[in-house]
Structure 1
């Protein structure tokens, strides 16, 4: 059973990592996707892996810029006829302790994660409310629940995404648009695998399931929130953490 048959989804940060895993899962469930990212070459490679233009289009997009996000969303509607799912996933890290973090590092992370998510939620919501349906899935993090050392910028942004999602869910519910978010824990990606062994081991010790998660496991939660199986869920923060810090 394909849970997203003939639906159109836009995924920011979709060229790699968790974003690409979500795109793969969506296509496997019958969706057509538009991938937004800054890296044009990575976008082209990702779209080819997904099956080419019949199911995947690309848009070079800086999520901090509302006009670029607006063009990406209009392109999705022009290409595939609707906008049914919006996944705000784009993100960066600029980790440093509170003592050493620069104002620029703080602003960069807040702008990409929080403002980028606000741009995507606001502009996708405007299209979805006119068609009377849609699902917005925002990527938060366990860091937004617990706070992590060296991540005052990232933790603040990810906590903000939860609040943003809940507020938007209340505003858009009467228009048939749902807004939920996912809070991944330790997921095995090139970024997390590059962390020092001591930090990795510390995080692993906090996970009752005893292992790191895989990007496909976050993607499974995104498929669920995007489709009709979650039709009575909005304003929810869904943890995908292996039980860490519950």
Structure 2
């Protein structure tokens, strides 16, 4: 199969400072895209930038996915640097927190929703509007978006009800948004990772980890690069007939 070709395209990746987001940035740069590495932690974004092939061709930016002005600032930076808005978007920014349902506080719930669900919605809306305003291209192939949900958004895990709710919302949002945007030449899909060895999952209770891996047919965590390969495939024209798809990348857990 031919490699993905993103030459000349601008890709914005949220949460690019680590984990899955960093792996996506590395692969997109390798495949020829101009990568905008965005993260709430600018130093982390810069560290990812330093790992990319030809880092001078890419950008590292501080961006808060919960603030529209911050997202619009990233769009302005893309236009200043590359002359166009991003046509590829990966919503990888996210947070996780473990707590029994009855102990979850309103601030914890609000933060989870703001970053994982509202952030995905807001960034997608701002990027899509900017792309359509420029009137670039027509018909299929104008742009592609991949959202990061979780297998938990399908299966449901105890002590994570607020996290699970936001990831289930990302699945529903993906399908609704995909229905509208496909008519405008922008494909929207998402991935549902299982347990991935990233900073977000560091410190997990070893008993919980053992329980989860025991029910995972492959019996191991994913490497971020394994998830990134699926994301980049969904961004490429190799997946041109996939719209509103939510692909499980879970090693077989919770099939």
Partner of 2:91: 88
For residues 177 and 80 of structure 1, the distance between their equivalents in structure 2, rounded to whole angstroms, comes to: 20
1:242 aligns with 2:251: yes
Aligned counterpart for 2:224 among listed residues 215, 234, 240:
215
Structure 2 residue 52 is the aligned partner of structure 1 residue 50: yes
Q: How far has the Cα of 1:212 moved from its partner?
A: 1.2
Question: How far, CA to CA, are the matches of 2:4 and 2:151 in structure 1?
Answer: 29
Distance 1:13 1:190 in 2: 12
Map of 2:75 onto structure 1: 73
- Structure 1 stretch displaced more, 225-234 or 46-55: 46-55
The partner residue of 1:158 within 146, 164, 167 is 167
What's the TM-score once normalised by structure 2's chain length? 0.92
Aligned to 1:109: 112
8 Å contact from structure 1 (residues 3, 223) kept in 2: no
Superposed structure 1 runs of 4+ greater than 3 Å apart: none
1:183 aligns with 2:192: yes
**Mean CA deviation greater in 113-122 or 65-74:** 65-74
1:98 lines up with 2:107 in the alignment: no
C-alpha distance in 2 between matches for 1:7 and 1:169? 21
Write the mapping of 1:143-154 to structure 2, written as runs, cut at 5 A. 143-154=152-163
- SS of 2:56's partner is coil
How far, CA to CA, are the matches of 2:53 and 2:171 in structure 1?
Answer: 33
Gaps of 5+ in 1: none
Would you say the 8 A contact 2:96–2:200 is kept in 1?
A: no
Matched, 1:120 2:123: yes
1:12 Cα offset (Å) = 0.4
Matched ranges for 1:58-69 at <5 A: 58-69=60-71
Per the normalisation by structure 1, the TM-score is: 0.95
The separation in 2 between residues aligned to 1:193 and 1:14, in whole angstroms, is: 17
Indicate if the aligned counterparts of 2:39 and 2:62 stay in contact, CA closer than 8 A. yes
Shift of 1:143: 1.0
Q: CA deviation at 1:43?
A: 1.7
Contact 2:4 2:236 in 1 (8 A): no
How much does 1:52 deviate? 5.5
Structure 2 residue runs of 5 or longer lacking an equivalent are none
Match of 1:36 in 2: 38
- Among 165, 182, 186, which residue is 1:173 paired with? 182
